[in-house]
Structure 1
Amino acid sequence: MSTIITKDGTEIFYKDWGARDAQPIVFHHGWPLSADDWDNQMLFFLGRGFRVIAHDRRGHGRSTQTSSGHEMDTYAADVAALAEALDLKNAFHVGHSTGGGEVVHYVARAKPGRVGKAVIVGAVPPVMVKSDKNPGGLPIDVFDGLRSALVANRAQFFIDVPTGPFYGFNRPGAEVSQGLIDNWWRQGMMGGANAHYECIKAFSETDFTEDLKKIDVPVLVMHGTDDQIVPYADSAPLAVKLLSNGTLKTYEGLPHGMLSTHPDVVNPDMLAFFKE
């Protein structure tokens, strides 16, 4: 397996496919998944001449199940270490859900020349949890419920999420894919329970407002209106207003996991953005 070792000794697993001199795209997965969640997109862009890279966040997938570092500062530092090790220049960074937060946090801090463009899909910025500053957010009780369900029976919880709201399979007339459900469960159970537990705080309570304001590269913000995990109204439209060079692409009726349920719709839009 390909890995890098960070300053604190954590092994970060990554995939790196394609010609080394091709335009690199780095994919950042959502909670509680792994680089495998990007199989469709990696094959799509590899077939179009890009170099595609995806890593398992610490505590997730095949990376070290660390006891600490499950917050955005460390996640972004791990991405910086990967970019340094692979000497990525002008890379395009694509993040889904929690991975979208990771992208925003990293890009706002990246060394000059490392990042060319970014895409965030169904992403958590600006901030998910409800507060006086974010009255449209989700109550902390929602996230406490996620933590409780994870502690009580992580294996069952990781069946319930993809079977229901993640892919919109709980909607009338939804075309349910058992393969997607099983693969979600497989990826989730590869990771560490402590990492998944602590990451809930990272994705729900981190405020990315200042990060979004700092980013000057072009950013495509993609979001489905039927996202039951990261509600549309309190995320994408607010995030794009904070970006100096942001574009909002809204998908009517599509779910949080639209990268997997509707890649035929989403992938060409990303490709068009990359070719601009």
Structure 2
Amino acid sequence: MDEVITKDGRTLAVEQWGVPTGTPVIYLHGSPMSRLARHPDDSLFERLGIRLITYDRPGFGCSTPLPGRQVVDAAEDVAAVADHLGLDRFAVFGVSGGGPHALAFAARHPGRVTRVGALASLAPRDAAGLDWTAGMNEGNTRSATVAVTDREAVLAHLSAVGTAGLPPLPEVERAVLSRPEIGAMLGPAFAEAVRPGLDGWVDDVRALFGTPWGFDPAEVSVPVRLWHGGLDTLVPPAHAEWLAARMPTADLTLQQDAGHGGHFDATPAMLAWLVGFPGLDTEELLAGRSVTVHVAGRDLHVQLGAPTAVDALPRLRALLADFASVRERATEYLWDWDANGGEGERERADFLAALTPTTLVVTGDGTVELHYEEIDEKYLMDGYWPAVHLDRGLVPVEVTIES
């Protein structure tokens, strides 16, 4: 566990999972949960090359309470965690009560967010035109009723829940919760959440069920992906539909046969999207196969080479995001290496235009190869093509000729 001290002197408890050098993703847990909550298959983060970062919201686990907090307050807490870890831009996502908190960061810090995901997320309590508790189960409806009163009432309500237990859940939820791997994760995550008491849970209920979020979801300008189960009675699907209609950049997947717990099965696809380049099939790459993506105006074949291909995924995503500069460095080097005698700017420009890479190979140690094929025979003998090798700093170091 790591500890982050906020500007107002509070402590936020942080955990990390997956690949330490991987693509960073900050996860906002549900309620009542803690930094130990995550997808139960930790190998998923390794397969996708993800550095998953979780933290306790105020009052949960080892994080200092912040009485009266709003959802929007999570934005500065996430920023504090990111600053502590030296993160610039990254993806965020949240599940259930964590969804609104992920959207809060995206709304307040759009320049730091690549993509944002929300699974089974609540809509704001003051959502215009939404019958907020319609289709909601008895337990959450009661929470919504007391959440609009005062803190003491919420505390009494949650204390009673802890004594009497939750109302029975639908079969679609029980089927998910009965999976051993999910129970093995949820048990410790819940126990850690309420270990210091109910402060975090009380503040979450008031922030999510009783008060405005403190920002308009329409302010979110980065790409958003929403997922919701059509059979969800903990958070009815109308909440996701309202969010999708409110956010211009949102795309909603409504899985009709899934309940609230269906977010566990939906998480792998969400994570792949959060850290992916459009069209980049990471599962195929990790299986050792070439994947074709459209970048810089044409198709590019992408491969991961040895060693440890999973370590190369974050590097690959960064290269594709800035592929124009990578291509420029490589082709400039090839021009200097052998321009076939040409010296004029016109010939140089023609040369660079003709040299369009067809294959990109990235290895686990960070080196890069750009392969060129079907090159105009004006520059190279027909049937032969070059490959430019670049080091970790994207400095070209070698050219090889292939037939």
Q: Please indicate the TM-score interval, normalised by the length of the shorter structure.
A: 0.7 to 0.9
Listed one character per residue, the Cα deviations across residues 128-158 of structure 1 (whole Å, up to 9, x for unaligned) are: 46x8x3342118755236835413252554x
Q: CA separation in 1, counterparts of 2:163 and 2:47?
A: 35
Change beyond 3 A, Cα 1:108–1:41: farther
Alignment partner of 2:132 out of 121, 137, 162: 137
Unaligned regions of 5+ residues in structure 2, if any? 135-140, 148-153, 279-403
Q: Is 2:102 aligned against 1:103?
A: yes
Q: Is 2:78 aligned against 1:56?
A: no
Task: Determine which structure has greater relative contact order: mean sequence separation of CA pairs < 8 Å that are 6+ residues apart, divided by chain length.
Answer: 1
The corresponding residue for 2:216 is 211
Q: CA deviation at 1:236?
A: 1.0
Q: CA separation in 2, counterparts of 1:213 and 1:109?
A: 12
| Letter of the structure 2 residue corresponding to residue 193 of structure 1 | L
Q: CA separation in 1, counterparts of 2:274 and 2:199?
A: 37
The corresponding residue for 1:247 is 251
Higher relative strand content: 2
Q: CA separation in 2, counterparts of 1:26 and 1:41?
A: 17
| Letter of the structure 2 residue corresponding to residue 254 of structure 1 | A
Asked if the contact 1:70–1:195 (Cα under 8 Å) also holds between the matched residues in 2, the reply is: no
Change beyond 3 A, Cα 1:269–1:30: closer
Match runs of 1:42-121 below 5 Å = 43-64=43-64, 66=65, 68-110=67-109, 112=111, 114-121=112-119
Classify the secondary structure of the residue corresponding to 2:40.
Answer: helix
CA RMSD of aligned residues (A): 3.0
Unaligned regions of 5+ residues in structure 1, if any? none
Q: CA separation in 1, counterparts of 2:75 and 2:146?
A: 27
Q: Is 2:266 aligned against 1:271?
A: no
Change beyond 3 A, Cα 1:6–1:42: farther
* Identity, % of aligned positions: 23
| Letter of the structure 2 residue corresponding to residue 104 of structure 1 | L
* TM-score normalised over the length of structure 2: 0.57
The corresponding residue for 1:196 is 201
Match runs of 1:29-44 below 5 Å = 29-40=29-40, 43-44=43-44
- Which range moves more in the overlay, 54-63 or 181-190? 181-190
Change beyond 3 A, Cα 1:223–1:142: same
Q: CA separation in 1, counterparts of 2:108 and 2:260?
A: 27
Q: CA separation in 2, counterparts of 1:31 and 1:137?
A: 18
| Letter of the structure 2 residue corresponding to residue 154 of structure 1 | G
Q: CA separation in 2, counterparts of 1:167 and 1:105?
A: 30
Asked if the contact 1:225–1:254 (Cα under 8 Å) also holds between the matched residues in 2, the reply is: yes
Match runs of 1:13-24 below 5 Å = 13-18=13-18, 21-24=21-24
Asked if the contact 1:118–1:219 (Cα under 8 Å) also holds between the matched residues in 2, the reply is: yes
The corresponding residue for 2:120 is 122
Asked if the contact 1:33–1:184 (Cα under 8 Å) also holds between the matched residues in 2, the reply is: yes
Asked if the contact 1:18–1:52 (Cα under 8 Å) also holds between the matched residues in 2, the reply is: yes
Asked if the contact 1:165–1:229 (Cα under 8 Å) also holds between the matched residues in 2, the reply is: no
Q: CA deviation at 1:194?
A: 2.4
The corresponding residue for 1:168 is 173
Q: CA deviation at 1:20?
A: 5.4
